[in-house]
Amino acid sequence: MGAQFEAAVTLDAEMIMQTYGRKPVMFVRGEGMRLFDDEGREYLDFVSGIGAVNLGHAHPAVAAAVCEQMSKLVHVSNLFYVEHRAELAADVSELLGGGWHMFFANSGTEAVEGAIKLARRWAGFHKPGAYKVVTLERSFHGRTLAALAATGQASKQEAFKPLPEGFVHVPANDVAALAAAVDETVAAVMIEVVQGEGGVWPLTAEYLSAARRICDEAGCLLIADEVQTGFYRTGPAFAHQAFGVVPDVVTVAKALGNGLPIGGFLARGSAAEALQPGDHGSTFGGGPAICAAARATLAAMAEQRVGDNAVRVGAYLRERLAAIGEQTGALSDVRGSGLMVGVTLSKPIAAQVAALGLERGLVLNNIGTDILRFLPPLVCGKPEIDTLCSTLTNILVEVSAE
């Protein structure tokens, strides 16, 4: 442990609320897929800031856009028109097919909170008496109170009860359970097309189509939480687009700023007109600097065709992981889409594997005791996957033998 790192650990323990179990490393620089710690050691990043740095670290076009805008104007609030805000909304709307209206926030959980408020406000106009939001078991929608109540993981909720009322959780990929839960009291159904934080569990095409039909028949909104899956993580710009299902509301965040904090939600049709002046707000949402960064991010993503790379390299990653499972017997159930991949380990050794990975130059993410989640930057190539799989195989063989 170097002196700079040791001092940082000590000060962190003294000054920062310990809400995260931090890994024993301090990164000081990034470049594409690679991170460098305070002693100059190089790592391959398979977490990308929890799916937020889709273009890779320190992308020059994003850095240039931020620097240029920061030198001109940083913040004046939403009381005024600013450069880049409406243009960015138009860019995102175009990715969704056009005709969408956007609200800007600062994070994914704020995006979800806003979408829930929009659904209840919309119901006030179009379905009086409806207020419930149906979400799926194992889902994750954020850590603010309403977003936490929407989250389908009881273990994350227990310490914070009583939570806001009006949330119903049903099993994923169970059409009958969803149909039974959606009644005259339901304002919206909210889904993640791939449940990321829950362990990378994809919904089926049949379930997504059924969810759209059930919402239409019940006269409620379908919200797609694309905070983690948005902006080419699974291949298409948004995960739901691979299934031909069009939601009424879409939440976004994470990769839109390529690591800088931004979030928001988009709505179409009558849902886009639900929120009235004074109903919702954000002091920093849609500021000129972050919007300039996000516009540069989207332009670079399109130019570099990161979605095509996610499909190609993601398929290679899943193939290599499946082969490791056959070779070692240490992992199974390789799943996911694009460069959003999860595996279940045959023993509860996920934290140990991630720790050994870090020692050997791999930044890995364990979920619970037996799941590894892979979210590399979308510029990841096959050589990096080969390095990952070679090192991971050695780790799994070692740990499994203990």
Give per-residue pLDDT as tens, 38-97: 999 999 999 999 999 999 999 999 999 999 999 999 999 999 999 999 999 999 999 999
Q: What average pLDDT does this structure show over 230-240? A: 98
Is the distance from CB of 164 to CB of 147 less than 8 angstroms?
A: no
Beta bridge partners of 30: 35
Is the distance from CB of 174 to CB of 203 less than 8 angstroms?
A: no
What is residue 401's predicted lDDT score, i.e. its pLDDT? 79
Marked catalytic residue, from 225, 238, 248, 370: 225
Burial class (CB in 10 A: 0-12, 13-18, 19+), 242: middle
What is residue 332's predicted lDDT score, i.e. its pLDDT? 85
Tokens (6 digits) for 74: 């940083």
What is residue 260's predicted lDDT score, i.e. its pLDDT? 97
With both helix axes pointing from N to C terminus, report the angle between 85-95 and 288-304 in degrees, rounded to the nearest 10: 30
What is residue 62's predicted lDDT score, i.e. its pLDDT? 98
Tell me what percent of the residues of the chain surpass a pLDDT of 70.
100
Report which of 333, 341, 334, 331 is spatially closest to residue 380, judged by C-alpha positions.
341
Q: What average pLDDT does this structure show over 215-235? A: 98
Computed over every residue of the chain, the mean pLDDT equals 97
- Indicate the pLDDT class of residue 3, thresholds 50, 70 and 90: confident
Look up residue 177 and give its amino acid: A
Can 254 be counted among the known catalytic residues? yes
Neighbours of 164 (CB within 10 A): 14
Look up residue 39 and give its amino acid: E
What is residue 402's predicted lDDT score, i.e. its pLDDT? 75
Write down the pTM of the prediction: 0.97
Tokens (6 digits) for 53: 């740095």
What is residue 331's predicted lDDT score, i.e. its pLDDT? 92
- Indicate the pLDDT class of residue 4, thresholds 50, 70 and 90: confident
Q: What are phi and psi of 154, to 5 degrees?
A: -60, -35
- Indicate the pLDDT class of residue 276, thresholds 50, 70 and 90: very high
Is the distance from CB of 192 to CB of 182 less than 8 angstroms?
A: no
Can 386 be counted among the known catalytic residues? no
268 has a pLDDT exceeding 90? yes
Marked catalytic residue, from 37, 127, 254, 374: 254
400 has a pLDDT exceeding 80? yes
With both helix axes pointing from N to C terminus, report the angle between 382-401 and 306-328 in degrees, rounded to the nearest 10: 30
Burial class (CB in 10 A: 0-12, 13-18, 19+), 276: exposed
* C-alpha dihedral sign at 237, 243, 248, 250: negative
Indicate the pairing of strand 249-252 with strand 340-345.
Answer: unpaired
What is residue 164's predicted lDDT score, i.e. its pLDDT? 97
Can 140 be counted among the known catalytic residues? yes
Marked catalytic residue, from 104, 140, 167, 265: 140
Q: Which helix (H) or strand (E) holds 202?
A: strand 201-202
1 has a pLDDT exceeding 90? no
pLDDT tens profile 307-362: 999 999 999 999 999 999 999 999 989 999 999 999 999 999 999 999 999 999 99
**Distance (Å, rounded) from C-alpha 402 to C-alpha 398?**
7
**Distance (Å, rounded) from C-alpha 41 to C-alpha 194?**
33
pLDDT tens profile 116-140: 999 999 999 999 999 999 999 999 9
What is residue 210's predicted lDDT score, i.e. its pLDDT? 98
